[in-house]
Amino acid sequence: MTEIQITDRLIHLRNDRISYIMGIMEPGILTHLYFGKRLESFRPESILRRYGLKDEELRLKKGILNNVPLEYPSWGLGDMREGSLIARAADGGASCDLRFRDAEAADGKYRLDGLPSAYGENAKTLRVRLYDEKLRMRVTLLYAVFEDCDVITRSAVIENQGSEAIELERAASLCLELPDDRYDLITLSGAWARERAVYRRRICPGEMSVSSLRGASSHITSPFAALARPETSESQGEVYGAALVYSGSFYMGAQVDSNGAVRLQGGLNDRHFSWKLDAGETFTVPEGVLVYSDCGLDGMSAQFHTLCANHIVRGKWAKAPRPILLNNWEATYFAFDEEKLLSIAKKAAETGIELFVLDDGWFGHRDDDHSSLGDWFVYEKKLPDGIRHLSDRIHEMGLKFGLWFEPEMISPDSDLFRKHPDWAMQFQGREHVEGRNQLILDLSNPEVCEHVYQMMAGHLREDGIDYIKWDMNRNFTNPGSMRLPPDRMKEFPHRYMLGLYSILSRLTEAFPEVLFESCSGGGGRFDLGMLSFMPQTWCSDNTDAISRCRIQWGTSYVFPPFSMGAHVSAVPNHQTGRITPINTRINVAMSGCFGFELDLNRLTEEEIAQVRAAVVRIKEVREILLYGEFHRLSSPYEGHDTAWITVSKDHKRAILMLTRDLAQPNANAPMIRLRGLDAQKTYRVLETGEVYRGDELMNSGITPELPKGDAASVSLTLAAEE
Ligand code: GLA
């Protein structure tokens, strides 16, 4: 059950497992006192004493704020740490003095204007209103607590109730104060083709952070951070996780102060950011989420996965079996015509595949990546009868039809750019900087957003499209607009995101049947913001099964299997040159939204037989693979083996995946302790006929037999005996 208790001194949010507690201190300072396992009652004295605040002297004096755990810290009045809010008055002064006004609880989950946020009925919302007298600025802190996951979501709405403009120079989404610093900071960082690798290091005095200034959450690092006790492992120990429901430039970092207390903060990246809040205007801060688990990193991920499943991903596809797809990108790149596509699709249909996706190169005069983004009309040289003709042929084969777009982009060589050069993102008088030979549209301009919406809606109405791959292949340069006045140019990166979100929310509402997959040069914009509109994200342009073990392992820290696009591609792999057996490629891709990215006509009969068998099996078990409980077992970051298991919600079926990157001669067989099973149940391994009790599988383990050779893999199905 969720509850919010508000008394004179304390505000307590909780569900059956977690508590989040704030204190109201004289003269109206909102403190953060506790986040962790559920508490029945709480006395603030002990925690305040730890910070040197005597219980008989709760009245706060200026100058000691520096040692006070604060709920939404601002700058300039005695707190010398990095704050969450910087608001500059018209006279230039940037100190901020937020005092508690009132708080109220309500049923349900708050919504945010213009921004994605978690949703759900089984939630309660808390609104805490703070006020700065001098600025005449009201800050409403928003919180939600859910019944089914150990997550607190946060946001804030900042309102200028005065008559002069206020300049917001920082407005963080979340802030968590912890009384000691015995934590490791875990982040997910990488690059194109090696996204979301796991990094873990001990925090120490000073600041450790990750951030993006790219206008996208980025390949380089994810809007996520966890603080885990040094002894916390996958299966045991305390950990706090934080993530943003946001897809643009961000900041996420932990600061250890001189007394060893920690402040974890995240939100919009405040470099090259400010927001002019005119009299009467409001600014809504992107949502942040905080997770607590005392069941290790696997426990933290379980909370994030439940959040994604029940409160982030929405619409028809949120809980539906995702179609097995074949995408033509790695099969043909730009070199295709209708005949070629139909021959690939025909083979796909024969093999039981359900969706054919036409990737880049079908529009304008696009034969390579130098032209045509923005000219979203069919390239008649390749498809003389048009997209509708192709999609009809595909549908006649019994397949669904999907199409690739990169709607946020504009090629300098495009009719659109020739007509509207001012629609490209730019700083006036600066030369364009191209990325992948293309520019980005100015989505801070509502006219451009309207154009993109109408263009997409037109295709969705006319072309028989069941699935859209929404790509975004480069990051911001000269992040500005011809339309914004100079004193608002720093608002551009966030205004771009608001424009993008407005298009996505209109499209997904108008076309609820369509399955959207988000993509950004692979997994360059894999975040809770995009997942709020599109239920799956292309995990990485790297389709090599061994690389994917690491990428999907790291991705699973926050994101569940049903959110990760994962495909079987040709060998030698186009990104790494590695040759892996087809069953390894299938086993690894099976732990996500499964598909193929190759020309099946080029496979041997034997390989096709394996593909057919995999398609049959995946259709049988995909409910479990996508929506079951996912547990990481053996880490590719610690050895040669990657193992994970997905267990059905009723614990009656499970799929175990083990992949070894390099053969280990004369080595003991890998012994893997499983997780998530029912200790009392007896399970049969369908592939081997062996029978084990759940407690043995979880406490002693199982030693699956791997085939010989490098990149060997096995996938086992466990079924509980009646
Ligand atoms: C990006 C995507 C790929 C493919 C290409 C097409 O790199 O990640 O999957 O769609 O663009 O240009």
Q: Give residue 360 CA to ligand 1 midpoint distance, Å.
A: 7
Which residue owns the Cα nearest ligand 1 atom 2?
A: 521
What is the token pair recorded at 624? 């479990």
Q: Give residue 63's pLDDT.
A: 54
Distance 402 CA to ligand 1 centre (A): 14
Residue 272 counted as domain residue: yes
Task: For residues 527-540, give the mean pLDDT.
Answer: 98
Q: Does residue 519's CB lie within 6 angstroms of at least one atom of ligand 1?
A: yes
Q: What is the predicted pLDDT for the residue at 488?
A: 97
Nearest to 59 by CA among 103, 28, 92: 28
Residue 60 clears pLDDT 80, i.e. is over it: no
Nearest atom in ligand 1 to the alpha carbon of residue 541 is 8
- The answer, yes or no, to whether any atom of ligand 1 lies below 6 A from the CB of 329, is yes
Atom of ligand 1 nearest to the CA of 522: 8
Distance 540 CA to ligand 1 centre (A): 9
pLDDT at 108: 98
* Per-residue pLDDT tens digits for 89-106: 999 999 999 999 999 999
In a domain, 65, yes or no: yes
Q: How far apart are the first and last CA of the chain?
A: 33
For residues 691 and 682, the answer to whether their CB atoms sit within 8 Å is: yes
Residue 253 contacts by C-beta under 8 Å, 6 or more apart in sequence?
82, 207, 208, 209, 210, 211, 225, 264, 265, 266
The conformation of residue 574, written as its DSSP 8-state character, comes to T
Predicted confidence at residue 237, as pLDDT, reads 98
Cα separation, 150 vs 37, in Å, equals: 9
Residue type, position 499, single letter = G
Our mutation pick for probing the ligand 1 site, out of 192, 336, 359, counting the most ligand atoms within 8 A of Cβ, is 359
Residue with tokens 């005695």: 78
- pLDDT at 54 (0 to 100): 63
The whole-angstrom separation of Cα 207 and Cα 195 is 24
Give me the active site residues, please.
471, 541
Domain count, the chain: 2
CA of 406 from ligand 1 middle (Å) equals: 9
Out of 219, 329, 373, give the residue to mutate to test ligand 1, the one with the largest number of ligand atoms within 8 Å of its CB. Answer: 329
CB 313 within 8 A of CB 531: yes
Residue 344 lies in a domain: no
Query: Which pLDDT score is estimated for 562?
Result: 98
Percent of the chain with pLDDT over 70: 98
Q: Is the CB of 362 under 6 A from ligand 1?
A: no
Cα of 241 from ligand 1 centre, angstroms: 31
Instruction: Indicate whether 370 belongs to any domain.
Output: no
Where do we find the tokens 């928003």? 142
CB of 82 sitting under 6 A from ligand 1: no
Residue 59 has pLDDT above 90, yes or no: no
Cβ(359) – ligand 1 distance below 6 Å: yes
Q: Minimal CA–CA distance to 319: which of 563, 537, 620?
A: 563
**Coil, helix or strand for 642?**
strand
Cα of 359 from ligand 1 centre, angstroms = 8
For ligand 1, atom 6, name the residue with the nearest CA: 360
| Last residue in a domain, options 312, 333, 350 | 312
Q: What is the mean pLDDT of the chain?
A: 96
CATH of the domain at 66: 2.70.98.60
pLDDT band at 45 (very low <50, low <70, confident <90, very high): confident
Q: What does the alpha-carbon distance between residue 173 and residue 598 come to, in Å, rounded to a whole number? A: 42
| Residue 153: both structure tokens together | 């979501």
Ligand 1, atom nearest to 520 Cα: 8
Identify the pLDDT of residue 683. 98
Of 239, 321, 212, 286, the residue nearest 35 (C-alpha): 239
In whole angstroms, give the CA distance from residue 328 to residue 603: 15
Domain boundary pick from 312, 344, 371: 312
State which ligand 1 atom lies nearest to the alpha carbon of 469.
10
pLDDT band, residue 61 (cuts 50/70/90): low
pLDDT of residue 453: 99
522 C-beta closer than 6 A to ligand 1: yes
Tell me what the mean pLDDT of segment 302-317 comes to: 98
Nearest CA to ligand 1 atom 12: 360
Q: How would residue 76 be classed by pLDDT, with cut points 50, 70 and 90?
A: confident
- Closest-CA residue, ligand 1 atom 1, reads 521
- Model confidence at 57: pLDDT above 80: no
The CB of 360 under 6 Å from ligand 1? The reply is yes
Average of per-residue pLDDT across 463-476:
98
Q: From CA 193, how far away is CA 544, in angstroms rounded?
A: 9
Q: Is the pLDDT of residue 53 over 80?
A: no
Q: Is residue 340 part of a domain?
A: no
Q: How many whole angstroms from 516 Cα to the centroid of ligand 1? A: 15
Interatomic CA distance for residues 545 and 661, integer angstroms = 9
The DSSP H or E segment spanning 496 is helix 492-510
Q: Which of 634, 631, 636 is nearest to 654 (CA)?
A: 631
Q: What is the pLDDT of residues 248-288, one digit of tens each?
A: 999 999 999 988 999 999 999 999 999 999 999 999 999 99
Is residue 252 in some structural domain?
yes
Average pLDDT over residues 554-569: 98
Looking at the predicted structure, is the pLDDT value of residue 529 above 80?
yes
Q: Which CATH number does the domain housing residue 655 bear? A: 2.60.40.1180
- H or E element at residue 4: strand 3-6
Whether residue 37 contacts residue 18, with contact meaning beta carbons closer than 8 Å, is answered with yes
φ/ψ of 84, rounded to 5, equals -95, -20
Q: pLDDT class for 84, splitting at 50, 70, 90?
A: very high
**Domain range for 650:** 641-720
With a 6 A CB cut-off, is 595 part of the ligand 1 pocket? Answer: no
- Residue 55 CA to residue 219 CA, distance in Å, equals 48
With cut-offs at 50, 70 and 90, classify the pLDDT of residue 56.
very low
471 Cβ closer than 6 Å to some ligand 1 atom: yes
Q: Which atom of ligand 1 is nearest to the CA of 597?
A: 9
pLDDT band, very low/low/confident/very high, at 511 (cuts 50, 70, 90): very high
Can you tell me the distance from the alpha carbon of 238 to that of 255, in angstroms, rounded to the nearest whole number? 19
288, 312, 336 — which closes off a domain?
A: 312
- Rounded average pLDDT over 182-196: 98
Say if 474 falls within a structural domain.
no
How confident is the model at residue 75, as a pLDDT? 86
Residue of 219, 473, 575 with the most ligand 1 atoms within 8 Å of its CB, for mutation: 473
Q: Does residue 363 belong to any structural domain of this protein?
A: no
pLDDT at 65 over 90: no
The per-residue pLDDT for range 374-426, each reduced to its tens digit, is: 999 999 999 999 999 999 999 999 999 999 999 999 999 999 999 999 999 99
Contact residues for 715 (Cβ-Cβ < 8 A; gap 6+): 583, 586, 587, 590, 655, 656, 657, 658
Average pLDDT of span 163-173: 98
Q: Say yes or no: CB of residue 541 within 6 Å of ligand 1.
A: yes
Quick one: pLDDT at residue 595?
Answer: 98
